C-alpha cells in the first residue's frame, strides 16, 4: 500500500522541522478536561472582547491621568500624538468589529 498524499506532505514537513516552533508545543490543550460546550467559541470571543474593552479603558485612564501623576511634565503634543501606543490602543476598540 502506498502512503497517502497528505501523510507524505505531513511527514516531509516534520522531517524538515516546519512544526518545531509551533506556539503551544508541549503545552496541554486548554479546557481539555472540561465537558463539551457547544458554545465554547462564543464564550472565548466574549472573554476576548471584554479583555479588549478593559485594555482600551485602561489606556484612556492612563492618557487622562498621566500628566497628573507626573506633575504636568508630559507635553500635550507627545501625549496626544496619533502614533503613540496609548492612542493606538484606545482607537483599536472603536474600530474593532
pLDDT per position as a tens digit, 9-19: 999 999 999 99
Q: By C-alpha distance, which of 29, 24, 91 is closest to 63? A: 91
Q: Is residue 6 part of a domain?
A: no
Q: How many beta carbons lie within 10 A of that of residue 74, not counting itself?
A: 15
Q: Is residue 90 part of a domain?
A: yes
Model pLDDT for residues 5-41, shown as the tens digit of each residue: 999 999 999 999 999 988 888 888 888 898 988 888 8
Scored b (16 or more CB within 10 A) or e, 55-65 reads ebeebeeebee
- pTM for the complete prediction? 0.38
Structural domains in the chain (count): 1
Query: What pLDDT score was predicted for residue 25?
Result: 85
Q: Is residue 95 part of a domain?
A: yes
pLDDT of 92 > 60? The answer is no
Q: Is residue 93 part of a domain?
A: yes
Q: Is residue 96 part of a domain?
A: yes
Query: What pLDDT score was predicted for residue 77?
Result: 46
Q: Is residue 13 part of a domain?
A: no
Q: Is residue 91 part of a domain?
A: yes
Q: Is residue 25 part of a domain?
A: no
Query: What pLDDT score was predicted for residue 31?
Result: 83
Mean local confidence (pLDDT), 71-95: 52
**Domain residues for 74?**
38-97
Amino acid at each position: 500500500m502506498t502512503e497517502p498524499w497528505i501523510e507524505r506532505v505531513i511527514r516531509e514537513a516534520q522531517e524538515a522541522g516546519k512544526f518545531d516552533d509551533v506556539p503551544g508545543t508541549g503545552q496541554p490543550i486548554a479546557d481539555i478536561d472540561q465537558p463539551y460546550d457547544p458554545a465554547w467559541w462564543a464564550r472565548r470571543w466574549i472573554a476576548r472582547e471584554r479583555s479588549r474593552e478593559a485594555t482600551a479603558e485602561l489606556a484612556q485612564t492612563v492618557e487622562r491621568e498621566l500628566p497628573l501623576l507626573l506633575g504636568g511634565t508630559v507635553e500635550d503634543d507627545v501625549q496626544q500624538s496619533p502614533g503613540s501606543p496609548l492612542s493606538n490602543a484606545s482607537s483599536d476598540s472603536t474600530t474593532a468589529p
